[in-house]
Each structure stands twice: as C-alpha cells, then as structure tokens.
C-alpha cells in the first residue's frame, strides 16, 4: 500500500471540507473493497477520509412506507435488524448473502452502492425496489444512479447519507453465487408494487440495470411461463472466467424465474 | 501518527504509519502472532480477530481505524490451563491438522455461536465461508463448533 494521509472527521461538513482541500482524496466506509484495492496498488489516494465517525450516516428508520437505511449500516446490521426483517425481508435476505461473515461485519450499504461493482448485490435491490440514493445535497433515483462499470451519478465530493427504499407488497431476490467470492454471477430482484412489477438485475452487464422487457411481459401476465418466451439479448453483457455473456443472459431468465416463484408464493 | 489501541483489554500507545494494517500492529508491534497472514488478499480469514465483538479480517482494516475500538485476538480468549470452550472443542474434536487457519477459525466460530440463531451444520458451513482450511476438509471443524452450540 502506498502512503497517504488519514483523516477521521467527526461531522459531515468536515469530511466534505477535507475532501475539497486534498489532491486525490477518497472516502473510506467499511473498506472491504477499498483497502484490498489499495493493498494491490490499484488505488493510490493521497488522502483517506474515514467516515466511521459520522453518526449522521447511521441508523435504520421507517416512515410512510419508506425504509431509510443510513449509508454506514453494515450488511450484517441490515441482515439482522428487526425493522428490515418485518418490513423489507427481501433486503435482509439479500444482505445475508453478501461476501462472508467478516465482510458483512465491516462492509456498508453506502459503500457498496457508491462502488457500483458489476457483481455486487445491493445495486439489484436499489434498482429492483426503485430506491432513492440521498446525498448531502440531493436525492438521486436508483434508476438514474448506476452509469457504468464502477461509475455512478455521484459527483466527486458527493457523499451518500442514506438509501430510501419504498416498501413493495412482495419481493424476492435470487442469486447465482460465485462459490469463491460470494459475488453474484447474476442476481435478480423481482418486486411487486400493487401490480407494477420491477426487475433489478446485477452481475450481467457493466452495472446493475432494470429488465424493462421482462417487466412489461410480467405486467401483462404475472406468471413464470411467460418468461419462457422472452428473449434476453446478451449484447453488452460481461464475459469473463466465471461466465460467458451468453450464459449470463441465460441466468437472467433463470434467476428472474426463481425470484418470481418466491414472489408468487408470498401473499400480497 | 500516534494511536491508543485496546487489545485484549490492555491499552497500548503506538506510533504507526497511516498505511499500517491492524494485523501488522498485532504481529509486529505487539508480538501477538496468533493472527496469521495466510493470503494477504482478504480471502483466507487466518487473520480474523474480534473488533468490538465481531469477527473481522485484520488484514483488511487499517490500524488507525480501530483507535476507539476494542480488539480481541486468539491470545485474549483463554489461557493454556484455562482454554476458551471453543478452543477445548477444537482440541476434543481434532478440528485442526497443520493449525495455520485455526486461530481465525476459532475467532470466527465464536462470532457465529454468539450472533447466529439456530445454528446447524449447514449454517455453520456457510458461516465459515470467510475462512479457508487446506487440510481438514472442514468436517471436524464443523463438529467442534456444533458441540459448542449443543452445550450452550
């Protein structure tokens, strides 16, 4: 790891000021991607701004059928929090499949979403549930948030403070898990908001996206069989040692079916 | 930078570089060599310690990040004459061969039995995903942890 200056601000404004005054700064949340990346010298920031002292980025709250999750909430906190279990169980189940236990004890929802790893799980939830990313200065619709591989709509000095998830009537997440890393080769989150179906896909392309074609088919006929006739083109999909683009396109369909089966098994 | 760090209920004042990892402080500054560096890429879990009561990989945490936290290592959970129940179970069930992964396995296992409900063999295996063992085939490790769950 190259050398850098470490800062641990106590309030949000101080974190932003530190960021603005540094040459090549980076925010540190749980560090489960950032620190290994810095160890491999794939990232070499001049200043690391540790957010862990910012209590305003913590906490889980429910109001008006929206569940708000602070950016610094760890995956294991989401997986075990009673409000999540009661009102948005799909998110608790998803969080419990991320990485391994040690990673879930440190990694945060804000860090995962800000990183836009193409194989991360939370992006499927942000898209599939129609969530909203709240920063210090604005709200960004989940649909507009992920731009490309590790690229988001966040400005350089913009910090996620919380994620707001509207509560669906029913929802489920199905994932084809890479056995070594725990990352999603492909993951599909299917949610039903009073007949309006949303499908969020991660792992297939350079960043998480909606499966609009599948959503439209399902809104006309909410059944598993209808997916047999849907074509999922693999253009632009990832192709690597874990899976070809063609196989990922196949998985999109299979995992959407699996998630949909769980959705249909739930009482709306 | 100078930091105060609480390890195994003892406070230490140390000077560290910003890029010093927690595992480096434990092993090289404090001579607590129970946390092992197996892979150094955050895959193997041999460096697992407890940070504020939860299992973390100490090779993926900066020393400066733990300044206000409590760290417990394998050295802090039992004595040679008074083993932690998880250490006793690993001995009783022969849950190790070369022993390299064992400190991390035990720290992870304690986190699991403390925080997970209804642990069965399948859930124990899932809970050990962040810890690699190259000799035992995991079978006896799972049995050792299961025996602690059964006694609790």
- Residue B98 main-chain phi, psi, to 5 deg: -75, -25
Integer Cα distance of A98 and A122 in angstroms = 9
- Among residues B29, B46, B76, which one ends one of the domains? B76
DSSP B9: T
Q: What local confidence, expressed as pLDDT, does residue A181 receive?
A: 86
The answer to whether B57 and B45 are in contact (CB under 8 A) is: yes
Kindly state whether residues B145 and B94 are assigned to the same domain.
Answer: yes
- Among residues B16, B48, B76, which one ends one of the domains? B76
- Each residue's pLDDT tens digit in chain B (152 positions)? 999 999 999 999 999 999 999 999 999 999 999 999 999 899 999 999 999 999 999 999 999 999 989 999 999 999 999 999 999 999 999 999 999 999 999 999 999 999 998 999 999 999 999 999 999 989 999 999 999 999 87
Residues of A in contact with B60 (CB under 8 A): 31-32, 35-36, 102, 106
Q: What local confidence, expressed as pLDDT, does residue A27 receive?
A: 98
Q: Is the pLDDT of residue A1 over 90?
A: yes
Average pLDDT over residues A3-29: 98
Q: What local confidence, expressed as pLDDT, does residue A268 receive?
A: 58
> What domain range is B15 assigned to?
2-76
Integer Cα distance of A103 and A107 in angstroms = 6
- Among residues B58, B76, B94, which one ends one of the domains? B76
Domains of chain A: 5-50 (3.30.43.10), 57-265 (3.30.465.10)
Kindly state whether residues B94 and B69 are assigned to the same domain.
Answer: no
Residue range A180-197, pLDDT digits in tens: 888 999 999 999 999 999
What CATH number is associated with residue B134?
1.10.150.120
H or E element that contains A128 = helix A122-128
Domain count, chain B: 2
What CATH number is associated with residue B29?
3.10.20.30
The answer to whether A188 and A124 are in contact (CB under 8 A) is: yes
Average pLDDT over residues A129-153: 98
CA pseudo-torsion sign B114, A180, B61, A154? negative
Kindly state whether residues B90 and B50 are assigned to the same domain.
Answer: no
Cβ contacts of residue A95 below 8 Å, gap of 6+? A75, A76, A78, A79, A84, A104, A109, A121, A122
Q: List residues in chain B touching A: CB distance below 8 A.
A: 1, 17-19, 21, 40-43, 45, 48, 51, 54-57, 59-62, 64-65, 67, 108, 111-112, 115, 127, 129-131
Confidence at A247, pLDDT banded by 50, 70, 90: very high
Residue of A nearest to B130 (CA): A100
Percent of chain A with pLDDT over 90: 97
Q: What local confidence, expressed as pLDDT, does residue A267 receive?
A: 74
């Amino acid at each position: 790891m190259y050398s850098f200056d470490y800062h641990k601000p106590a309030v949000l404004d101080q974190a932003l000021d530190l960021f603005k005054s540094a040459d090549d700064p980076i925010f540190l949340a749980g560090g489960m991607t950032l620190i290994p990346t810095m160890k491999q010298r794939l990232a070499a920031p001049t200043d690391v701004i540790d957010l862990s002292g910012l209590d305003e980025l913590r906490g889980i709250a429910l109001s008006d059928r929206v569940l708000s999750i602070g950016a610094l909430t760890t995956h294991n906190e989401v997986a075990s929090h009673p409000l999540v279990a009661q009102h948005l169980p799909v998110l608790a189940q998803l969080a419990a499949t991320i990485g391994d236990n040690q990673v879930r004890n440190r990694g945060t929802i804000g860090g995962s979403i800000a990183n836009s790893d193409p194989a991360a799980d939370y992006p499927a939830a942000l898209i599939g549930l129609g969530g909203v990313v709240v920063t210090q200065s604005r709200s960004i619709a989940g649909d507009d948030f992920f731009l490309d591989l590790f690229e988001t709509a966040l400005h350089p000095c913009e910090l996620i403070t919380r994620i707001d998830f509207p509560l669906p009537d029913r929802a489920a997440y199905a994932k084809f898990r890479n056995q070594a890393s725990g990352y999603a080769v492909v993951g599909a989150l299917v949610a039903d908001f009073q007949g309006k179906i949303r499908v969020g896909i991660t792992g297939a392309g350079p960043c998480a996206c909606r499966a609009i074609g599948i959503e439209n088919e399902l809104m006309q006929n909410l059944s598993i069989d209808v997916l047999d006739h849907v074509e999922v083109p693999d253009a632009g999909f990832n192709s690597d040692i874990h899976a070809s683009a063609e196989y990922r396109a196949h998985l999109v369909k299979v995992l959407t079916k699996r998630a949909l089966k769980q959705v249909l098994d739930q009482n709306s | 930078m100078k930091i105060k760090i609480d390890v195994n209920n003892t406070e230490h004042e140390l000077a560290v570089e910003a890029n010093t990892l927690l595992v480096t402080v434990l092993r090289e500054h404090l001579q607590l060599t129970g946390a092992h560096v197996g892979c150094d890429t955050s895959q193997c879990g041999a460096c697992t310690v407890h940070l504020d009561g939860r299992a973390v990989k100490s090779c993926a945490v900066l020393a400066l990040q733990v300044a206000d936290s409590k760290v417990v290592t394998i050295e802090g959970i039992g004595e040679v004459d008074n083993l932690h129940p998880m250490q006793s179970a690993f001995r009783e069930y022969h849950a190790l061969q070369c022993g390299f992964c064992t400190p991390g396995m035990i720290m992870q296992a304690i986190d699991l039995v403390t925080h997970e409900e209804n642990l069965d063999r399948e859930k124990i295996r899932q809970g050990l995903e962040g810890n690699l063992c190259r000799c035992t085939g995991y079978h006896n490790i799972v049995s050792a942890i299961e025996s602690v769950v059964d006694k609790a």
